[in-house]
Chains A and B, each alone.
Chain A
Amino acid sequence: MERIRERVIQIYGNLVSLLQKCIFCILSVGPIPNHIAFIMDGNRRFTKKCKLMEGAGHKIGFSALMSMLKYCYEFGVRYVTVYAFSIENFKRSPEEVQSLMDLMLEKIEEILKEQSIVNRYGVRVIFSGNLKLLSEPVRLAAERAMLATAKNSKAVLSICVAYTSTNEIMHAVQESCEEKWDEITLLNSSGAGYGLISLGGYEQDEMDHLIKLTDIEKHMYMAAAPDPDIIIRTSGETRLSNFLLWQSANCYLYSPSVLWPEIGFRQFLWAILNFQQIHFYLDKQRKQS
């Protein structure tokens, strides 16, 4: 009896999979987003709603993440970014922060395993953020994961930990200033930069030419990925919460009301359909800016 039941579940699973593949085939006639970003909001509310143990919401949220990644990579989305842990989240209770760090450590080890999604789809994992703020074991695990997957090239998964967009921009500004400062110092020491400092009239122009938009962009933590095409934030909140502020200038913002552990194929499909509808207009805007 048990075996028949298992068989039925297996057949059902295969049918669902086949149906999803068919839908993806139909959708790929239209434009496929290159980069999707997720703000995984609602884990704690899910725990409360389903009256689960503390931390269970985050664990279920992790499996929801795995399914969303599967849909993205099957559909052909090359870059996926997730907002795992904000710098502001360090303000939460130490127990919660510690349990999140432990969960992250556990999951990093898991994704490096042989049968994991990372190896199946050839995903390169990048940890974006101010990694110096993380505890030693987590930071080392993150660096190990980045090294282990560095050769993968089919897709990219950016996990934002200890990340806020304002921190990212500030860091990029700092790096750009330092880089230009080094350049000026080098020019000065070789004598060629004399005109940059002494002649008041030239100073401003040279400064203008020195720091450009591209200089700041190349120092961003997220420089390895293009701007996102869709940002999906669950649990119905419509705000960016300091996530990809710079990169979301012309990006489609979608906020379904489901909580993150409840997200599924339906929301993914809806986001893609809406994206395809406005894609041509957005593309034109982006080329002109």
Chain B
Amino acid sequence: MLSLRFAIPTANTLTPPKTKPKPGLVVQTAWNQTDLFPSLPKRYDYKLQAATTDLSVAGDITAEEVVELPAELRRELMPKHVAVIMDGNGRWARQKGLATSAGHEAGVKALRELIELCCQWGIQVLTVFAFSYENWIRPKVEVDFLMSLFERALKSEVESFSRGGIRISVIGDSTKLPTSLQKLINEVEESTKHNSRLQLIVAVSYSGKYDVVQACRSIAEKAKDGQIQLDDINESLIEQELETNCTEHPYPDLLIRTSGELRVSNFLLWQLAYTELFFAQELWPDFRKDEFVDALSSYQQRQRRYGGRH
């Protein structure tokens, strides 16, 4: 049974038990608590912080919600938009002597944990590179498995996303996806479109270059129809036509790529203009809370100048 839980693990004895989850959140105990959430490392000194006014703008959250941040992280420096390239499922499975499908399933678990952390820590948009346009050349067995994994995961999570205030958007060339998945995506996008706690953008069958090409085509279409003049074409017009126009913050502040590979692999090329890149050595299924905290703390220490002076 795959389900997203928002309950704070009580198996950990380092911190006092939290306040009860707010009404409406169902606490699923289908999984053994200690399986999914490793015990918190002793080096972090967690402090309970009362929610401040910045959380009250989100639709679902009440003022009593307590959100803990590890000691290294500062709330005012949290990125608004985090993008992740979830690389390394296949390698992780090979290392453990499992089938590739087990690697992808483990990857989904890691993703669920990341979504929960983003919700708790006030990150507004999370974009994940689930399936690249170039991945279609992988063996048919693997591709079919991934498509069915997306369907299963979407079907089982849509309710918890609705309750958790998560809005789902899917970007990429959906014409190559199975029709049942396309229909499901439309339904999920429709049913979650009013949620505002976290926007989860899933890039499936996505290519950064084709994003720009399709933006160019729609601009050309508009120019042909006389809606715009060719001289009006500027950077913000292109930004409005890119597939990331489904969100208010299309430019990621931080891009995390796991498994130690040092490249972008055709993901969000235009949008990454001033994004801080963080390359993690761990394989995606091993990328958990500690590693995410490392990435965020590295981000918070960087000086972003956008071409100007210090």
Contacts and interface: CB of A to CB of B under 8 A. Distances in A.
A99 interface: no
Contact of B217 (A96, A164, A208): A208
Contact of B264 (A89, A249, A288): A249
B102 interface: no
A196 B307 CA distance: 44
Contacts of A210: 220
Contact of A170 (B134, B209, B210, B234): B234
Contacts of B265: 249-250, 285
Nearest to B234: A170
Contact of B277 (A87, A240, A278): A240
A96 B308 CA distance: 11
B234 A288 contact: no
A253 B217 contact: no
Interface in B179-238: 207-210, 212-213, 215-217, 219-221, 223-224, 230, 233-235, 238
A173 B308 contact: no
Contacts of B269: 245-246, 248-249
A269 interface: no
Interface string B266-277: 100110111111
Contact of A166 (B207, B208, B223, B273): B273
Q: Chain A's interface: helix, strand, loop or mixed, by majority?
A: helix
Contacts of B208: 249
A128 interface: no
Given A92-B308, A184-B224, A245-B272, A173 B302 contact: no
Contacts of A207: 217, 220-221, 224
A216 B213 contact: yes
B277 A216 contact: no
A255 to B, nearest CB: 8
Contacts of A86: 307
B150 interface: no
Interface stretch (A18-26, A109-117, A174-182, A260-268): A174-182
A251 B267 CA distance: 12
Contacts of A184: 224
Contacts of B302: 237
B134 A285 contact: yes
Given A173-B238, A252-B263, A241 B217 contact: no
A248 B273 contact: no
Chain B interface residue number, banded: 35 or more
A253 B263 contact: yes
A180 B217 CA distance: 11
Nearest to B304: A239
B262 interface: yes
A211 B216 CA distance: 8
Contacts of A234: none
Contacts of B292: none
A213 B217 contact: no
B278 interface: yes
Contacts of A177: 216, 219-220, 223, 230, 233
A242 B219 contact: no
A169 interface: yes
B277 A242 contact: no
B217 A165 contact: no
A135 to B, nearest CB: 18
A4 B310 CA distance: 47
Nearest to A196: B224
A178 B230 CA distance: 7
Contact of B224 (A181, A213, A246): A181
A253 B264 contact: yes
A51 interface: no
A39 B216 CA distance: 28
Nearest to B215: A173
Contacts of B270: 165-166, 169, 245-246
B307 A170 contact: no
Contact of B263 (A89, A166, A213, A250): A250
A238 B217 contact: no
B231 to A, nearest CB: 8
A239 B278 CA distance: 9
A74 interface: no
B243 to A, nearest CB: 15
A181 B221 CA distance: 10
Contact of B137 (A91, A96, A178, A288): A288
A88 B277 contact: no
A208 B214 CA distance: 9
Contacts of A282: 263
Given A184-B224, A239-B277, 20 more contacts: A89-B308, A167-B235, A170-B238, A173-B216, A177-B220, A181-B220, A181-B224, A212-B213, A213-B210, A238-B276, A238-B279, A239-B274, A245-B270, A245-B273, A250-B263, A251-B264, A253-B262, A282-B263, A285-B265, A288-B134
Interface of A: 44, 86-89, 91-93, 96, 164-167, 169-170, 173-174, 176-178, 180-181, 184, 207-208, 210-213, 216, 237-242, 245-246, 248-254, 278, 282, 285, 288-289
17 contacts: A44-B310, A86-B307, A88-B307, A91-B308, A166-B270, A169-B212, A169-B270, A173-B216, A177-B233, A207-B217, A207-B224, A210-B220, A238-B277, A240-B264, A241-B273, A249-B269, A289-B133
Closest 7 CB pairs of A and B: A88-B307, A249-B266, A242-B273, A238-B277, A173-B216, A174-B233, A245-B269
